[in-house]
Amino acid sequence: MATAEGAATPPLSPWRRLRSPSLAARLALVTAAVLAVALGMVSAVRTVALRQRLYASTALQMGVDYSTLAKGLRLSPLAVALDGQGYASFLASPTVGALVADATGSVQGEAPPTSPQYASLFPPVLPRREYLSALAEGRDVSLVAGRGAQRQLVVLAPYLNPFTGAPVAVFELATPVAPLEGTLRQQLEFDLLAGLLALMGAAAAIYVLLGRFLAPLADMARASDEIAAGRLDVALPQPRGDDEVARLSRAFSHMVQRIEVALERERAEQRRVRAFLADASHSLRTPLTVLNGRLDLLLRGESREGEELEAALRALRVEGERMARIVRGLLLLARLDEDEPRDAGDVDLARVLEALRPRLESLAGERRLVLAAPEGLTAWATVEAVETIVTNLVENAVRHTPEDGQVEVRADLVDGRVRLRVLDTGTGIAPGDLPRIFDRFYRGARAGQRRDGGAGLGLSIVQRWAQALGGEVAAANRGERPGAVFTVWLPKGPPPASSDPRPSRAPG
């Protein structure tokens, strides 16, 4: 397992952090940008509307002021021609300049605003047709004329003969737009400043709040780094609530736990395979050493004749048989580990035991052998499984039971399950061995010293078969008398279709 600390993602440098900001920072920035565009648009529309209103109200005010003054005037075309300049000066005020044109549109007099600040700002002389069209309309007309600093808001007020309605003169009142634009600019600057402050406040608030909401994501990112570095025991703070982030965080923790369990299982499996390989090669090495030793003796010319040769060959045969047994056992175990028996069905136990009788009797030798199964009792198994289980258990029983002892194989039905027992009157199982006798290659402490002992695979095979069929096996000493009893439980019928037919693998 990789536990290199260095494999973890290093913490970001300030520069990198700036170049790849956190999700909260990005969202805050994007929100601020969107808000800025929206505020800009609102402010632009507001400024345009405000300018229109300001110009309109100023023009209206100029018109009102003019008509107040003009009420007292009794004008005739002659008076205009003679004293146009006087009327212009009369109408000028501190911020408003005035110009007088006669009924033909010719300028008869002009005066700048009376305030010294605007003394040079005469009202713009408009094209003649402007004056004529104002006279033709017969009411005030406002417009903007001039360029740059000379730009002025102009109101054209026609003066008609009060009795005949004949055009007499046009008064042009003009005020510089600079003060109006100044007011507008101030308003815009205030808008921008307030908007900027609001934006900064909103961005900061979003950043802080999002940072809090997204904290579990940051925890997950950190945990992922640690997991990538091989540390799976990372503890994630569990957020409360049931929003998407909380659910994601919980799912993430759950996933990490499952990965941890799976990895631990994988490691155990690897340990098991390694131990299995070591045991397998070790148990094959012993007979191979014996075999090679004997062959060396023969090659050197010793025991080449008569009974000695015969004894040597027999010994070789025994070792060969032992190796063949080990390889058979390993192959069987590998096959059972690989896939479950698919051809299970009802197996008549009495019939299988009867068929096995000759082989079991030859194994038992002088020992009394009892085979007992009720007529017609069936277990959900395969014939091969029952034969292998019974043969292995009887072989063990015989090996640990004196010649005048007894070995029994009994089958019966208990609580709806088939119980298959092998009882002997032998040495019994050493209490220290009991927990381990089903381990692969485990041979009892006493058996270990004996040359006639097996490889320690028999009981593992019995257990695997029982598990593969959905059953189990247990070992015990008989208690009331010397001897051991092995109990194999087998199902009476097929497993329920819904449940997973694969039993859990036994470790070791």
Which residues, at least 6 apart from 243, have a Cβ–Cβ distance to it below 8 Å? Answer: none
* Other CB atoms within 10 Å distance of the CB of residue 402: 13
Integer angstrom CA distances of residue 235 from 6, 173, 259, 473: 20, 81, 14, 40
142 closest CA partner among 131, 154, 128, 151: 154
Binding positions for Mg ion, 200-259, rule CB under 5 A: none
Pair of tokens at residue 289: 């050493």
* 443 binds ligand ATP per the rule CB under 6 A: yes
Q: Is 487 helix (H, G, I), strand (E, B) or coil?
A: strand
204 closest CA partner among 430, 28, 381, 327: 28
* 388 binds ligand ATP per the rule CB under 6 A: no
Give the nearer residue to ligand ATP in terms of CB position, either 83 or 472: 472
We find the least distance from the C-beta atom of residue 473 to ligand ATP, in angstroms, to be 11
**Which amino acid, one-letter code, is at 9?**
T
Binding positions for ligand ATP, 321-380, rule CB under 6 A: 329
Residues 294, 367, 400, 410: which binds ligand ATP (CB under 6 A)? 400
Which does residue 400 bind out of Mg ion, ligand ATP, none, counting CB within 5 to 8 angstroms by kind?
ligand ATP
Binding residues with ligand ATP: total (CB under 6 A): 25
Q: Is 169 helix (H, G, I), strand (E, B) or coil?
A: strand
> What is the distance between the alpha carbons of residues 127 and 143, in angstroms, rounded to a whole number?
13
* 396 binds Mg ion per the rule CB under 5 A: yes
Which residues, at least 6 apart from 477, have a Cβ–Cβ distance to it below 8 Å? Answer: 428, 429, 483, 484, 485
Residues 177, 381, 447, 473: which binds ligand ATP (CB under 6 A)? 447
Give the contact letters, 251-290, x = binds to ligand ATP (CB under 6 A), - = no: ----------------------------------------
Binding positions for ligand ATP, 217-246, rule CB under 6 A: none
Pair of tokens at residue 80: 């205009």
Q: Which helix (H) or strand (E) holds 253?
A: helix 244-299
> What is the distance between the alpha carbons of residues 208 and 170, in angstroms, rounded to a whole number?
65
Pair of tokens at residue 296: 């060396």
483 closest CA partner among 367, 338, 391, 326: 367
Which residues, at least 6 apart from 352, have a Cβ–Cβ distance to it below 8 Å? Answer: 383, 386, 387, 390
Pick the stretch among 265-273, 412-420, 453-461, 492-500 that binds ligand ATP (CB under 6 A). 453-461
Residues 112, 405, 444, 454: which binds Mg ion (CB under 5 A)? 454
Which does residue 443 bind out of ligand ATP, Mg ion, none, counting CB within 5 to 8 angstroms by kind?
ligand ATP
Which does residue 455 bind out of Mg ion, ligand ATP, none, counting CB within 5 to 8 angstroms by kind?
ligand ATP
Which does residue 426 bind out of ligand ATP, Mg ion, none, counting CB within 5 to 8 angstroms by kind?
ligand ATP
Pick the stretch among 48-56, 130-138, 450-458, 499-507 that binds ligand ATP (CB under 6 A). 450-458
We find the least distance from the C-beta atom of residue 268 to ligand ATP, in angstroms, to be 21
Pick the stretch among 44-52, 134-142, 425-433, 497-505 that binds ligand ATP (CB under 6 A). 425-433
Burial of 325 (0-12, 13-18, 19+ CB in 10 A): middle
* 387 binds ligand ATP per the rule CB under 6 A: no
* 112 binds ligand ATP per the rule CB under 6 A: no
- Angle, helices 23-70/77-91, rounded to nearest 10 degrees: 130
We find the least distance from the C-beta atom of residue 421 to ligand ATP, in angstroms, to be 12
Which residues, at least 6 apart from 361, have a Cβ–Cβ distance to it below 8 Å? Answer: 369
* 407 binds ligand ATP per the rule CB under 6 A: no
Which does residue 447 bind out of Mg ion, ligand ATP, none, counting CB within 5 to 8 angstroms by kind?
ligand ATP
Which does residue 105 bind out of ligand ATP, Mg ion, none, counting CB within 5 to 8 angstroms by kind?
none
Pick the stretch among 37-45, 106-114, 225-233, 421-429 that binds ligand ATP (CB under 6 A). 421-429
Give the nearer residue to Mg ion in terms of CB position, either 32 or 455: 455
* 458 binds Mg ion per the rule CB under 5 A: yes
We find the least distance from the C-beta atom of residue 470 to ligand ATP, in angstroms, to be 22
Q: Give the nearest residue (CB) to ligand ATP.
A: 454
Which residues, at least 6 apart from 233, have a Cβ–Cβ distance to it below 8 Å? Answer: 260
We find the least distance from the C-beta atom of residue 406 to ligand ATP, in angstroms, to be 12
Contact between 297 and 305 (Cβ < 8 Å): no
Contact between 51 and 184 (Cβ < 8 Å): yes
We find the least distance from the C-beta atom of residue 429 to ligand ATP, in angstroms, to be 4
Which does residue 54 bind out of Mg ion, ligand ATP, none, counting CB within 5 to 8 angstroms by kind?
none
Which residues, at least 6 apart from 3, have a Cβ–Cβ distance to it below 8 Å? Answer: 229, 230, 231
214 closest CA partner among 17, 11, 24: 24
Dihedral, 54, 60, 63, 69 alpha carbons, nearest 10: -90
Pick the stretch among 81-89, 288-296, 301-309, 447-455 that binds Mg ion (CB under 5 A). 447-455
Pick the stretch among 85-93, 244-252, 265-273, 395-403 that binds ligand ATP (CB under 6 A). 395-403
We find the least distance from the C-beta atom of residue 8 to Mg ion, in angstroms, to be 51
Chain residues in the site for ligand ATP (CB under 6 A): 329, 392, 396-397, 400, 424, 426-429, 433, 437, 442-444, 447, 453-460, 484
Chain residues in the site for Mg ion (CB under 5 A): 396, 454, 458
